[in-house]
C-alpha cells in the first residue's frame, strides 16, 4: 500500500513555476496558506493587488498537478483490460471527442481516455493566449 500512495509518483512530470516570477510567488503563497490549517475560503481568495488571471492560472496548474499525482497512484492498476470503459460508476460513461481524430463521442478504455485528457489539459496550460507566462500579455482567461 505504501507504493500506491507514493507522493513523488505522478502520471506525468509535475508542472513547475519559474522561480523569481510572480506566479512562483503566488504559488508559494497558496501552498503556505493551504498547509497552515487556514480557512479554505480565505486561502483561495485573491490576494490584494494581484491579478485574478494569474491567481486562477496558479490554481489551475496546481489542480492539474494534484490530479496527476492521484492518477499516478492508480494508473498501473487501471489497464485497458481491467478498465475497458471510462466511467463514473454503472450509470455514467465518459466518451472522448476532440473534433480532430475523434469527431464523435467515442468510448475508450480508461487509460487511453486519461492520456488524451491529460494531453489536452497540458495543451491548454501551455497555450500562451490562455495562460501567458509573461506579465502584461493579453489574456483570454476570465474575459
pLDDT tens across 5-19, in order? 455 555 566 677 778
Domains of the chain in start order, with CATH, are: 17-73 (no CATH), 80-142 (1.20.140.30)
Q: What is the pTM of this model?
A: 0.64
Cell of residue 71, nine digits: 492518477
Report the distance separating Cα 133 and Cα 22, nearest Å.
9
pLDDT at 59: 85
Which residues touch 108 (CB under 8 Å, ≥6 apart)?
A: 86, 95, 96, 116
The mean pLDDT of 107-132, rounded to a whole number, is 92
The mean pLDDT of 125-138, rounded to a whole number, is 74
The mean pLDDT of 57-75, rounded to a whole number, is 87
* pLDDT band with cut points at 50, 70 and 90 for residue 73: confident
Was 75 annotated as part of a binding site? no
Q: What is the dihedral of CA 38, 57, 111, 73, to 10 degrees?
A: -30
* 116 HSE (CA, 13 A, CB side): 18
**143 pLDDT more than 50:** no
3 state DSSP class of 84: coil
Report the distance separating Cα 131 and Cα 139, nearest Å.
7
pLDDT at 52: 87
The mean pLDDT of 119-124, rounded to a whole number, is 92
Was 78 annotated as part of a binding site? yes
- pLDDT cut 90: percent of the chain above it: 32
Cell of residue 126, nine digits: 501551455
Cell of residue 91, nine digits: 450509470
pLDDT at 92: 94
Amino acid at each position: 500500500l505504501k507504493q500506491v500512495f507514493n507522493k513523488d509518483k505522478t502520471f506525468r512530470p509535475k508542472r513547475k513555476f519559474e522561480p523569481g516570477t510572480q506566479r512562483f510567488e503566488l504559488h508559494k503563497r497558496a501552498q503556505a496558506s493551504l498547509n497552515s490549517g487556514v480557512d479554505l475560503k480565505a486561502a483561495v481568495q485573491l490576494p490584494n493587488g494581484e491579478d485574478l488571471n494569474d491567481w486562477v492560472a496558479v490554481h489551475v496548474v496546481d489542480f492539474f498537478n494534484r490530479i496527476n499525482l492521484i492518477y499516478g497512484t492508480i494508473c498501473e492498476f487501471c489497464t485497458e483490460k481491467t478498465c475497458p470503459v471510462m466511467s463514473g460508476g454503472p450509470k455514467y460513461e465518459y466518451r472522448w471527442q476532440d473534433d480532430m481524430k475523434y469527431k464523435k463521442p467515442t468510448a475508450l478504455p480508461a487509460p487511453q481516455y486519461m492520456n488524451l485528457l491529460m494531453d489536452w489539459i497540458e495543451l491548454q496550460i501551455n497555450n500562451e493566449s490562455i495562460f501567458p507566462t509573461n506579465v502584461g500579455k493579453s489574456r483570454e482567461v476570465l474575459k
